[in-house]
Amino acid sequence: MGPILEIENVSLQFGGVKALDNVSYHIEKGEIFSLIGPNGAGKTSMLNCISGLYQPTGGSIRYKGQEIINMKPYNRTTLGIARAFQNIALFAHMSVLDNLKLGRHTLMKSGALSGGLYIGKSSNEEIEHRKKVEEVIEFLELQDIRHTPVGTLPYGLQKRVEVGRALALGPELILLDEPMAGMNSTEKDLMARFILDMHEVMEITVVLIEHDLGIVMNLSDHIAVLDFGKRIGFGTPEEIQKNPDVIKAYIGEETFI
Ligand SMILES: Nc1ncnc2c1ncn2[C@@H]1O[C@H](COP(=O)(O)OP(=O)(O)OP(=O)(O)O)[C@@H](O)[C@H]1O
Ligand SMILES: [Mg+2]
């Protein structure tokens, strides 16, 4: 189907630290693409460059053929790129429902205030907006906790709501930064199923950062491996598992097969 995202020679520097060093890869439309690598390898930095939080020092990022490297994060969201954060970015005192609605308000043309009045142009938008939020609540099985303040939920559920906040934006490309971190194995399996369904049912392209390599190998169509900001491997799960540079970078990690 062709690439949805083309990353060419992206570099990012913080003082003396090269967080990303000439990284290139393509992400195909509709695939599950994973970014792996040891702590500090540059995985979150890469997502920050794609979502627009960080400005790379060089390179090109094209989304559906369009250069987005200088575009503001908000404009990237309206193009269809949404992102769930490694550190949960929710309002703890607000309910699950309100957190999901608030995420979408940033997309409303009529603005958050007029959107609340149910008049004129805003009413159609408001209906669309609620429909999407309800769809996500059902999809991620959040019905029982829709009115619960996010801050009172167990960590695993908060992570799920964080994914829901990104999903409620109706993205074509979703960036998931360690959505399973801190989860037990039952919760991880459930999240893996949600990710597969995002890909198969919702036809969203998924970029996943995950440290559990068993899950990465099972879910991914392609994997890119970063180490000290450099791309040291790219390929299918089978290719990655045989790549000597990748094996070397992961020496000492018992989970690597
Ligand atoms: N805002 C920042 N200011 C300074 N240095 C940063 C900043 N963000 C990231 N870095 C540095 O860039 C490098 C890559 O960090 P990054 O967070 O992208 O790694 P990561 O692969 O996501 O690691 P982890 O698996 O621990 O989440 C690290 O050396 C980190 O200290
Ligand atoms: Mg990270």
Please report which confidence band the pLDDT of residue 115 belongs to, taking 50, 70 and 90 as the band edges: very low
Atom number in ligand 1 closest to CA 54? 1
Distance 122 CA to ligand 2 centre (A): 38
pLDDT in tens, 151-163: 999 999 999 999 9
Q: Atom 27, ligand 1: which residue's CA is nearest?
A: 39
Taking residues 175-204, report their average pLDDT. 95
Q: What is the pLDDT of residue 247?
A: 87
pLDDT in tens, 137-150: 999 999 999 999 99
Q: Name the packing angle between helices 96-105 and 155-167 (round to 10°).
A: 30
Taking residues 9-18, report their average pLDDT. 96
Strand runs (DSSP E) across the chain, as ranges?
A: 3-14, 17-28, 32-36, 58-63, 66-67, 81-84, 173-177, 205-209, 222-227, 230-235
Could you say which ligand is closest to the alpha carbon of residue 37? 1
Atom number in ligand 1 closest to CA 41? 21
What is the average pLDDT value for the chain, to the nearest integer? 90
Q: Atom 3, ligand 1: which residue's CA is nearest?
A: 14
Cα–Cα distance for residue pair 54/168, rounded to 1 Å: 23
Q: What is the pLDDT of residue 49?
A: 97
Domain coordinates of the chain in residue numbers? Answer: 1-80+171-257, 95-169
Looking at the chain, the whole-number percentage of residues with pLDDT higher than 70 is 91
Residue 244 in this model has a pLDDT that exceeds 60:
yes
Residue 42 in this model has a pLDDT that exceeds 60:
yes
Taking residues 230-244, report their average pLDDT. 94
Atom number in ligand 1 closest to CA 211? 25
What's the pTM value of the predicted model, to 2 decimals? 0.91
- CATH node for 1-80+171-257: 3.40.50.300
Could you say which ligand is closest to the alpha carbon of residue 46? 1
Residue 54 in this model has a pLDDT that exceeds 80:
yes
**Cβ of 40 less than 6 Å from ligand 1:** yes
**Cβ of 3 less than 6 Å from ligand 1:** no
Q: Atom 16, ligand 1: which residue's CA is nearest?
A: 42
Cα–Cα distance for residue pair 235/33, rounded to 1 Å: 10
Distance 162 CA to ligand 1 centre (A): 20
HSE, CB side, 13 Å, CA atoms: give it for residue 155: 10
Computed on alpha carbons and rounded to an integer, the radius of gyration of the chain in Å comes to: 19
Q: Atom 7, ligand 1: which residue's CA is nearest?
A: 14
Q: Name the packing angle between helices 121-139 and 96-105 (round to 10°).
A: 130
